[in-house]
Amino acid sequence: MQIDILTLFPQMFQSPFGSGIVKRAIDQKLVGVKIHNIRDYTHDKHHTVDDYPYGGGAGMVLKPEPIFEAVEAIRAAMPHQPAVDGLTVILLTPQGRLFSQQIALELSRYSHLILICGHYEGVDERVSQYLVTDEISIGDYVLSGGELAAMVVADAVLRLVPGVLGSAASPVDDSHATGLLEYPQYTRPPLYREWAVPEVLLSGNHAQIAKWRHEQAIARTRERRPELLEKANLNLRERQLLDKVELNSEGPDSGGR
C-alpha cells in the first residue's frame, strides 16, 4: 500500500511515522508513505496557498489549484496507474463520514490512498466536488488542521496491511475489530501487591481461556459502550451471556474510578 499525504506542515509527520510499527513497515517496504508540501505546487513568488472567501466572512480558504496539481502530479508519477478502484483521494474534514475500525478495514483494501489535510476555514468546495472521492472526520470536534486526523487514519489503516504487525500479532482481537471491546490483558507477575491475575489465565486450559476472554469482552462492552452491542451481531448464546456474565471483579471496571 502507498499513502501520499498533502499538507502545509510536512514536518508534523516526522515523529509519528519515524518510530514504531509504521516505521518498521516503511523500512521493510511493506508500505510507502510520502509527505508532500502543498506549497510546492504553487507558482507565484509568495507560494500562496490560501485566499479570502468569496462572499466574505472570517478566515482564509485553501485554494484549489495547488491541491489539484499535487494530486495530478502524484498520480502521473506512479509507476503503475492503479485501477480506478485501487486509489481513493480522501479529504480530512470535520464534515466527513465518521472514522471507525470498519472504515479503516475498508481503506486497507486499496492499493493507494491520497490524504489531503484541510486547513484554515476550509478548502475550496471544488476540491470536494471534483477531486476527492471520500471525506473523513475522526470525531465530532474541530482540530486546527487535518494533519492529526491524517496520522490517525494512516496509522489505523497501515497496521491492517498484511505483514505490518508481524506474524505473532494479529488485529483480529483488537477492540472494535469484532464489534466488541477487547478482553483484559495481564502479564507477569501473577500477584502484584495484593492483585492477582484471574486464575483461569494461569490454568493452561485454552478452551476455558477463550471462553473467559469472550465473556469479558461482552461484559466490558456492556459496561463501557452498550451502544456497540446493538451492532455487534451477537448470537443467541452470547445474548444470554449478556445478562449473566460478571465483569472481572478487580481493576478499573469495578468502580474504582
Tell me which residues touch ligand ADE (CB under 6 A). 92-94, 118, 137-139, 141-143, 146, 149
Count of C-beta atoms within a 10 Å radius of residue 7: 24
Which backbone phi and psi does 150 adopt, to 5 degrees? -65, -40
The residue written with cell numbers 486547513 in the block is 119
Contacts for 124 with CB less than 8 Å, ≥ 6 apart: 61, 62, 63, 64, 67
Q: Which contiguous run of DSSP H or E holds residue 45?
A: none
Taking alpha carbons only, the member of 188, 154, 175, 209 closest to residue 20 is 154
Closest distance between ligand ADE and the C-beta of residue 102, in Å? 17
Residues classed as catalytic:
94, 121, 159, 174
Count other Cβ atoms within 10 Å, centred on residue 36.
18
Q: How far is the CB of 32 from ligand ADE (least distance, A)?
A: 23
CB of residue 117 vs ligand ADE: minimum separation in angstroms? 8
Q: Please, what sign has the CA dihedral across residues 189, 194, 195, 198? A: positive
Q: In angstroms, give the least distance from the CB of 12 to ligand ADE.
A: 13
CB of 98 to ligand ADE, least distance (A): 9
For ligand ADE, the closer CB: 62 or 71: 62
How many angstroms separate the CA atoms of 18 and 25, rounded?
11
What span, in angstroms and rounded, lies between the C-alpha atoms of 113 and 200? 44
Q: Which is nearer to ligand ADE, 149 or 217 (CB)?
A: 149
Q: Which is nearer to ligand ADE, 88 or 137 (CB)?
A: 137
Listing DSSP states for 114-148 in one string gives: EEEE--TT-B-HHHHHHT-SEEEESSSS--SSSHH
Query: Closest CB to ligand ADE among 145 and 198?
Result: 145
Of the pair 54, 141, the CB lying nearest ligand ADE is at 141
